[in-house]
């Protein structure tokens, strides 16, 4: 019989365990803690925690522990559960309740089963227990099986304890105090487990909704497909490297599980504002592209000029001009047309920085050529808008289009700041909204400097740039090798674009190589 002092001590343990369970966020650790707490309070040598399957038709092994045999499966610290831990069916194939199995009986009837000796128990099938004992040399005697019910009275798990031990280590039955304490713990644990499951379900739904947005963004453009999935992966790789730093400015930087989740959500949402960006701007692979590449319209105009030159040739011949002279003039005109046409097609690609001479040549072509439209009206060879596009110094975007692209981060911040974030996610807008800022204050949209930004926001800036450099799905550039991308990042570090301390961690932890193996093509892996 337990003493008053012993009972009081175990009640204190129960209270402290209940408080600890309510604060545990990790589901695997929570399940493990429930079983370990039950074993401690009842002084059980072993135990199993079963979880109800999604369809409510069977009990699935979640945690298995036995101190005497040194068995630890499942949970945060145990070995992975193997195939030998097969789920217990609650019903036979004929649909009859499987009351011969004690754990199934407890679940089906929502009742506690306390057995003094399994070998002498009537009404239950302990043949599996006997086989286990025969193979291990163990002797399973006392069993205490307690159902765990949620707030709606549904059984969500079953706690089964084996072999209560005396202070001297002898096996004894579970007494009434053990049963009441185990039932009280099961009730508290069921609340904690239900809450954790509900939170996990909400988090899963939330992340699925975020992924839905990202899929919509990526589907808008085949050229950025996967960006919204790869940046979070790279961000978290850098964050884990920073968390492990043992020296330097980041030696005191550490992430909790909540910090990791907050950063992950921010990374997943970092480009959500792109839902507002027009597709023809996102997909602008050439300078003249809108819904289609308008270089073909200019090709047509050149063909009109060639036709006009041929008509002028034969009219001159018909008027008495020298045939050979007209032929030579025609050939010279066609050669110039072909050269200028090839030049504009090359300029349209936007693959390299245009020189002042090339820009001047575009303008000269626009001035020197005139053409007649279908109505016979003479027109400028290039419209003002076409001229503006073809003289873009670098890339394919005009200043106005670049502003549209840049505005996605403003839209991202507005969208995220409009959401009622819970306390543990309140910094998501800041993290997600800072990935286009620069350490020297020359970034956008707020011109923040290094000291104005969190480590997490700076991490996202590095991840966003590195993913863009190494992406193999962009129409305006070939897939970049890791060494080339790292070299560019080195320049960004030197000119105040990215955080130098984080970039050092990025390199010291071999994040580029790890990311490359996971996401890049073999031809890009040169470091």
Give yes or no for a contact between 485 and 499, defined as CB atoms under 8 angstroms apart: no
Q: Are residues 124 and 234 in the same domain?
A: no
Residue 275: DSSP 8-state: G
> What is the number of domains present in the chain?
3
Q: Which of 71, 65, 43 is nearest to 170 (CA)?
A: 43
Helix, strand or coil for residue 148?
strand
pLDDT at 385: 87
- List C-alpha distances in Å: 167 to 2, 6, 13, 172, 188: 11, 11, 17, 11, 26
> pLDDT tens digits for 225-281?
688 889 999 999 999 999 999 999 999 999 998 999 999 999 999 999 888 878 777
pLDDT at residue 18, rounded to an integer: 61
Structure tokens, 280: 């023809």
Same domain, 185 and 245: no
Q: Identify whether 442 is part of a domain.
A: yes
State how far Cα 306 lies from the chain centre: 55
φ, ψ at 157 (rounded to 5°): -165, 165
Sign of the alpha-carbon torsion through 354, 356, 358, 364: positive
pLDDT-derived band at 10, boundaries 50, 70, 90: low
Is 377 in a helix, a strand, or coil? coil
Structural domain ending residue among the three candidates 381, 396, 411 = 396
| 154 and 254 inside one domain | no
Domain termination residue (choose one: 374, 396, 418): 396
Q: Which domain holds residue 188?
A: 4-199
Unique residue bearing structure tokens 């596009």: 389
Q: Residue 308: in which H helix or E strand, if any?
A: helix 295-318
Q: Between the CA of residue 425 and those of 128, 254, 260, 432, 450, what are the distances in Å?
A: 48, 17, 10, 12, 22
Residue 323 has which token pair? 């045939």
CATH code, domain carrying 251: 1.10.3210.10
Q: For position 121, what pLDDT does the model report?
A: 87
**Residues 106-111, mean pLDDT to the nearest whole number:** 96
- Is the pLDDT at 2 greater than 60? The verdict is no
Greater model confidence, 385 or 249: 249
Chain segment 187-231, per-residue pLDDT in tens? 888 888 888 888 888 989 999 999 888 888 877 766 666 888 899
Q: For a pLDDT cut of 90, what percent of the chain falls above it? A: 61
Distance in angstroms (rounded) separating the CA atoms of residues 397 and 16: 62
* Boundary of a domain, candidates 338, 369, 396: 396
* Average pLDDT of the chain to the nearest whole number: 89
Domain assignment present for residue 181? The answer is yes
Q: Cα 291–296–220 angle (5° rounding)?
A: 20
Count of beta carbons in the 10 Å neighbourhood of residue 387: 17
Query: Which of 116, 186, 169 has its CA nearest to residue 144?
Result: 116
Question: Residue 210 domain-assigned?
Answer: no
- pLDDT at position 64 is 95
pTM recorded for the entire structure: 0.68
Domain of residue 138, CATH code: 3.30.450.40
Question: Over 90: is that where the pLDDT of 1 sits?
Answer: no
Query: In degrees, to the nearest 5, what angle opens at C-alpha 176 toward C-alphas 15 and 141?
Result: 110
Residue 6 clears pLDDT 70, i.e. is over it: no
pLDDT value for 278: 80
> Which pLDDT tens digit goes with each residue over 25-34?
777 888 888 8
Q: What is the dihedral of CA 19, 22, 26, 30, to 10 degrees?
A: 70
Mean pLDDT of 476-487: 86
Region 13-17: mean pLDDT is 62
**169 and 248 share a domain?**
no
pLDDT in tens, 164-177: 999 899 999 999 98
Whether residues 132 and 64 fall in one domain:
yes
Q: Taking each helix axis as running N to C, give the angle between helix 500-508 and helix 455-470, from 0 to 180 degrees, rounded to the nearest 10.
A: 60
Look at residue 287 and tell me if it is in a domain.
no
Q: What is the pLDDT of residue 260?
A: 96
Domain membership of residue 510 (yes or no) is yes
Asked, for residue 70, whether it belongs to a domain, the answer is: yes
* Cα–Cα nearest to 340, from 313, 314, 367: 367
pLDDT digits (tens, 9 = 90+) for 31-56: 888 898 889 889 999 999 999 998 99
pLDDT value, residue 518: 94
Is residue 519 over pLDDT 90? yes
Q: Are residues 331 and 385 in the same domain?
A: yes
Shared domain check, 12 and 105: yes
Task: Report pLDDT for 490.
Answer: 96
* Whole-angstrom distance, CA of residue 469 vs CA of residue 242: 22
Residues 85 and 195 in one domain: yes
Kind plus residue range of the DSSP H or E element containing 506: helix 500-508
276 found inside a domain: no
For 446-469, the pLDDT digits (tens) are 999 999 999 999 999 999 999 999
Tens digit of each residue's pLDDT (9 = 90 or more) over 72-99: 999 888 899 988 899 999 998 889 999 9
| Three-state SS sequence of 14-50 | HHHHHHHHHHCCCHHHHHHHHHHHHHHHHCEEEEEEE
Same domain, residue pair 174 and 39: yes
pLDDT at 229 (0 to 100): 87
State mean pLDDT over 278-304. Answer: 82
436 and 518 both lie in a single domain: yes
Instruction: Give the span between the Cα atoms of 118 and 14, in whole angstroms.
Output: 27
pLDDT digits (tens, 9 = 90+) for 132-166: 999 999 999 999 999 999 888 899 999 999 999 99
Does residue 347 sit in the same domain as residue 454?
Answer: no
What is the Cα–Cα distance from 387 to 361, expressed in whole angstroms?
Answer: 11
Are 459 and 508 contained in the same domain?
yes
Q: What is the predicted pLDDT for the residue at 7?
A: 59
Give how far Cα 475 sits from Cα of 223, 470, 523, Å: 6, 13, 18
pLDDT at position 23, please?
65
414 within domain boundaries = no
pLDDT of residue 299: 92
């Amino acid at each position: 019989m337990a003493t008053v002092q012993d009972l009081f001590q175990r009640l204190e343990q129960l209270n402290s365990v209940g408080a600890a369970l309510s604060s545990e966020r990790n589901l695997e650790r929570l399940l493990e803690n429930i079983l370990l707490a039950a074993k401690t309070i009842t002084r059980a040598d072993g135990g199993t925690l079963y979880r109800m399957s999604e369809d409510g038709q069977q009990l699935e092994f979640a945690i298995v522990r036995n101190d005497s045999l040194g068995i630890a499966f499942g949970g945060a610290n145990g070995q992975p559960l193997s195939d030998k831990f097969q789920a217990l069916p609650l019903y036979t194939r004929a649909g009859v309740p499987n009351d011969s199995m004690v754990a199934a009986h407890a679940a089906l009837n929502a009742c506690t089963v306390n057995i003094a000796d399994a070998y002498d128990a009537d009404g239950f099938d302990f043949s599996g227990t006997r086989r286990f004992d025969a193979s291990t040399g163990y002797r399973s005697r006392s069993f205490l099986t307690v159902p765990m019910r949620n707030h709606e009275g549904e059984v969500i798990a079953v706690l089964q304890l084996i072999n209560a031990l005396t202070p001297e280590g002898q096996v004894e039955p579970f007494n009434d105090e053990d049963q009441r304490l185990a039932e009280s713990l099961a009730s508290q644990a069921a609340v904690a487990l239900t809450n954790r499951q509900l939170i996990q379900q909400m988090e899963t739904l939330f992340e699925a909704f975020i992924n839905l947005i990202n899929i919509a963004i990526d589907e808008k453009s085949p050229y950025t497909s996967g960006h919204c999935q790869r940046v979070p992966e790279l961000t978290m790789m850098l964050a884990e490297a920073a968390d492990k730093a043992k020296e330097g400015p980041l030696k005191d930087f550490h992430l909790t599980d909540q910090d990791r989740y907050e950063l992950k959500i921010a990374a997943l949402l970092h480009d959500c504002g792109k839902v507002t960006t027009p597709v023809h701007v996102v997909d602008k692979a050439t300078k003249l592209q809108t819904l289609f590449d308008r270089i073909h319209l200019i090709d047509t105009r050149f063909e009109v000029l060639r036709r006009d030159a041929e008509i002028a040739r034969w009219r001159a011949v018909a008027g008495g001009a020298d045939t050979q002279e007209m032929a030579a003039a025609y050939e010279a005109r066609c050669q110039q047309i072909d050269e200028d046409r090839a030049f504009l097609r090359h300029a349209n690609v936007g693959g390299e920085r245009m020189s002042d001479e090339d820009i001047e040549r575009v303008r000269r072509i626009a001035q020197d050529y005139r053409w007649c439209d279908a109505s016979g009206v003479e027109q400028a060879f290039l419209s003002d808008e076409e001229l503006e596009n073809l003289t873009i110094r670098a890339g394919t975007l005009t200043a106005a289009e670049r502003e549209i692209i840049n505005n996605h981060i403003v839209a991202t911040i507005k969208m995220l700041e409009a959401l009622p974030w819970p306390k543990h996610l309140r910094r998501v807008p800041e993290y997600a909204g800072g990935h286009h800022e620069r350490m020297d204050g020359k970034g956008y949209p707020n011109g923040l400097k290094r000291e104005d930004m969190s480590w997490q926001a700076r991490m996202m800036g590095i991840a966003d740039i590195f993913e863009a450099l190494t992406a193999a799905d962009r129409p305006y550039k070939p897939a970049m090798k890791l060494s080339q991308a790292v070299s560019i990042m080195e320049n960004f570090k030197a000119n105040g674009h990215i955080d130098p301390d984080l970039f050092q961690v990025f390199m010291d932890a071999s994040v580029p190589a790890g990311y490359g193996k996971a996401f890049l093509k073999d031809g890009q892996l040169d470091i």
